[in-house]
Chains A and B, each alone.
Chain A
Amino acid sequence: MQCREVRDLFDSYLAQELLTETNHEILRHLSGCPTCRADLAERRALREALQRAFARARDLEPRSEFSAELGAKLRDIAQVAPRRGLFGHWLALAATVVFGVGLAGTLWWTSRLLHDRDLAAAAVGDHRNCALHFALAEKPISLAEAAERYDAAYRVLEELPPAEILTSSGAARVLERHSCVYAGRRFAHVVLRYHEKVVSLLVTSAGGGISTNVPLDAALHGESSVDRIDDMSVLSFRSAQHTIFLTGDVNRAELSSLAEVLAGPLTRRLSSNQTQRSTLGLATASPSLTAVMPGDSRSGIDWTLPGLFWRKRQGSLGATCPEPAPPRPQPIATLEGYRKRIHGV
């Protein structure tokens, strides 16, 4: 490639719009051409300066009340009833008593079940979107930044799980750690290589104060079996304020082995993180495991409801997980870098 051709492509190169092969050609050219390197550096610097200038310009800032006023107007347009006050909650509580604890319980569990499924579908969507297809609507940010801005507990994922994980059915290796968004939900995302497949560990705020040691059985009777979501196995477990998902194109037994090793340390560390923002958690810290997969008779795992969920009490979980190790992957600046780290191409 000649200098002129390369420079014609710089705009698209900076916008990450080129094919991998073309990127390689440009990189090859840049390695031997200091003039083009300087030109590219200048263009990149200008782009960054433009972003900074735009973000810092005082005369582009909205009024401090603008967002709140806009939200109120839109709420009015939507004709959504404002959130209930304390008195409203007492009335709702009284109504619940009138209609009977059983009925309320059934409704609560049904909504929880739907919530679980929505969450699991979002986790699978994020795995596909982010780890497999790199189709990121928003750039991932570091776990440290996500911990700073959204949920301090995400910092736990910076060192847990450790870079190498030994399970009863083989080793897993951490490829990448970051925080990303799918369908409006933020996840802490650890990408693993396990049984030659890409598997995602995703942690998100439980969002509803989900109790961990409650019987799911009654609520689940009569539900149809959910074995896989979008051709991916999914398994989840909970800490006091977070739901943790493992998902990937591996079989149930392999995913369960990984969960056995990770569940204990992860739920303990997430629950003991005193600085997390959420105030909705109601539960104790002891983990229960939930898998949205059909029943499995593997020893050590109690499939309480064939066809849907399994739970396991705290105890032997995580006994084989080594202590967290400091090494962690460096942040990735480009999509290409990300793809290379995960798929090695």
Chain B
Amino acid sequence: MTKKEAPVDEHAWASFEAEALPHADQLFRVAMWFERNRQEAEDLVQDTMTQALQSFHRFQRGTNCRAWLMTILQHIRSNRRRSRFRSPVIDDPNDRIAETIPFVPPLPERLTDEDILGALARIPPHLQEVIVMCDVEEFSYKEIARTLAIPIGTVMSRLHRGRALLRQQLRTPADRRQKEI
């Protein structure tokens, strides 16, 4: 963010301020969930909003602005990840094994917020991504596919597997998890 960007006209700024800026807090929550570091999450949201401001003329009015912002955020995240690792990120080889997840007994009656977020944090990050976007952000499959740059079929299989693993985590008592670790 060191370089000075091209000026944005006042009308464009007003539209951006009304449509995009109100989503900053929600973007931060998602960024914070994945980055687990407040400073990095703030940087990520700031870079996302900066790019969004410069490209706001490309935003299609009447479509989901939050999903559009999330696409930018994911794009920046994925670029950062690439720059940190020497080898390319390998696509999930287990996308097609959803059906191999065994049946598990019903969920315990009482679950706290900590139980739920703890279980979510224990499943693989690429499955967390689709669950957060579908169940928390309520994006459509199409929006998730565009945001994560993956086919819709992959969104569906990841969602299926992610939810099954999440339920499995919630049904596994903490003491048994401890032994497994």
Show the binding face of A for B, using Cβ within 8 Å: 8, 11-12, 15, 17, 38, 42-43, 45-47, 49-57, 59-63, 66-67, 70-71, 73-75, 77-81, 125, 129, 135, 137-139, 182-184
Contact = CB atoms under 8 A, between A and B. Distances in A.
Q: State the main secondary structure of chain B at its contact with A.
A: helix
Contacts of B122: none
Nearest to B112: A53
A195 B5 CA distance: 53
A139 B138 contact: yes
A326 B2 CA distance: 59
Contact of A74 (B50, B64, B114, B156): B50
B65 A137 contact: yes
B46 A73 contact: yes
Interface in B101-155: 106-107, 111, 113-114, 116-117, 120, 131-132, 134-136, 138, 140-141
Nearest to A52: B113
B49 A74 contact: yes
Contacts, number: 127
Contacts of B167: 46
A184 B50 contact: no
A75 B136 contact: no
Interface residues of B, number: 55
A140 B10 CA distance: 29
B65 to A, nearest CB: 7
Contacts of B19: 183-184
B163 A11 contact: yes
Contacts of A12: 141, 156
Sorted nearest first, the 6 A-B pairs with minimum C-beta distance are A53-B113, A184-B19, A78-B8, A79-B7, A137-B64, A62-B28
Contacts of A183: 19, 61-62
B113 A184 contact: no
A17 B64 CA distance: 16
B63 interface: yes
Nearest to A125: B62
A50 B8 contact: no
Nearest to A79: B7
Contact of B141 (A15, A46, A125): A15
Contacts of B49: 70, 74
A43 B163 contact: yes
A71 B15 CA distance: 13
B15 A184 contact: yes
B25 A62 contact: yes
Contacts of A129: 62
B18 interface: yes
Contacts of B46: 70, 73
Interface string B1-25: 1001101101011011111010011
Contact of B50 (A61, A77, A138): A77
A114 to B, nearest CB: 11
Contacts of A54: 29, 33, 117, 132, 136
A60 B29 contact: yes
Contact of B42 (A51, A66, A78): A66
A66 B21 contact: no
B136 A70 contact: no
A316 B4 CA distance: 59
Contacts of B106: 38, 42
A77 B53 contact: yes
Contacts of A46: 107, 116, 163, 166-167, 170
Nearest to A47: B135
Q: Which residue of B1, B65, B135 has the most chain A CB atoms within 10 A of its CB atom? A: B135
A138 B134 CA distance: 14
Interface in B33-47: 33, 38, 42, 45-46
B70 interface: no
Interface core residue of A62, A63, A75, A80 (most chain B CB under 10 Å) = A62
Given A79-B7, A184-B65, 14 more contacts: A52-B113, A54-B132, A55-B29, A57-B113, A59-B32, A60-B29, A62-B32, A77-B4, A77-B8, A78-B8, A80-B13, A81-B10, A125-B62, A138-B64
